[in-house]
Amino acid sequence: MQCDKCRNGAVFFQPYSGRHLCGQHLALDIETRAKRAIRSHRWMETGDHIAVVLSGDKKSAALLLFLQRLVADRRDIRLSAIPAGEGDSGGSGPSAVKEVARLLRIPLREMPQTPGSRTAAEDMPTKVALAFTLDDIGREVLVQFLSGNAERLVHPPAAGSGGIPVICPFIAVPSDELDIYWDREGTEIALLPCTPVQDPLSRDVETLLWDYHHHHPATRFALMNLAEELSGGNVGGVASAALGRDGNGFRGNPAEVPRDGA
């Protein structure tokens, strides 16, 4: 099958767009959507120190790679990586996290343990970036409705109030596309496709959503738009709320890490 953009061999079919894309044009499409999400949510500004949560899977590695490319020519934005929490049993392990950060030449560090100190103030990120994808936001919306907690979508954590704001550049990108993006654009490190969801209800909803999506490809986008509307655009807060429940967090919830002097 040929790419609908350049007539080279296609590597992926997007059921929601009806397009066959080669590796190059799939990567461009992913990066375009991620940049659009950053612009529309104003997730990046001068002086930012963005810390990317790495869990040893392809989508978090892809996020680090994308942001590395995005800020490569900017001296006004810093980028670092922080490992996912000790309780995270998915991904490819701590060694893979360290190797990804090393090969991409991004400093890997722990969150500062003593807020208020000079060292903590210098190291404290202004934003935490999560590889929260189109699949993740769709699952989260269904989980909250099915568990009778839809109000949590209306009042997600105020990530910018006393804590570090959470950003999700891949909010409009499906996870399987990110697997191909990493395989094509990333390093030679072999990573697992994604970190397994720990919460039983989330796992059931993930299966249900995946089956339904094959017949209705636009479903995940509709759920993402619903999350945007209900949360007033605070999808970072929705992602932060899902973080701890699914067991894919890092040492310290980003909504609870105080700023210097807070």
- CATH number for the 38-246 domain, one of 3.30.200.20, 3.40.50.2300, 3.90.1150.10, 3.40.50.620? 3.40.50.620
Given this model, what pLDDT does residue 134 score?
95
pLDDT the model gives residue 227: 95
What is this structure's pTM? 0.85
Residue 260: its pLDDT value, please? 35
In the DSSP assignment, the letter for residue 14 is E
pLDDT of residue 183: 92
- HSE toward the beta carbon, residue 97, CA cutoff 13 A: 24
- Give pLDDT, residue 213: 87
What is the block-wise mean pLDDT of the chain (262 residues), using blocks of 10 residues?
93 95 97 97 96 92 97 94 65 81 91 52 83 94 92 78 81 95 87 75 88 91 95 91 57 37 32
Nearest alpha carbon to residue 1 among 24, 15, 20, 19: 20
8 Å CB contact between 227 and 238: yes
Query: Burial, 73: exposed, middle or buried (Cβ in 10 Å; 0-12, 13-18, 19+)?
Result: exposed
Q: Are strands 166-167 and 127-129 parallel, antiparallel or unpaired?
A: parallel
Determine the Cα–Cα distance for residues 205 and 196; give it in Å rounded to an integer. Answer: 13
For the chain, the domains span: 38-246
Angle separating helix axes 200-215 and 134-146, nearest 10 degrees: 120
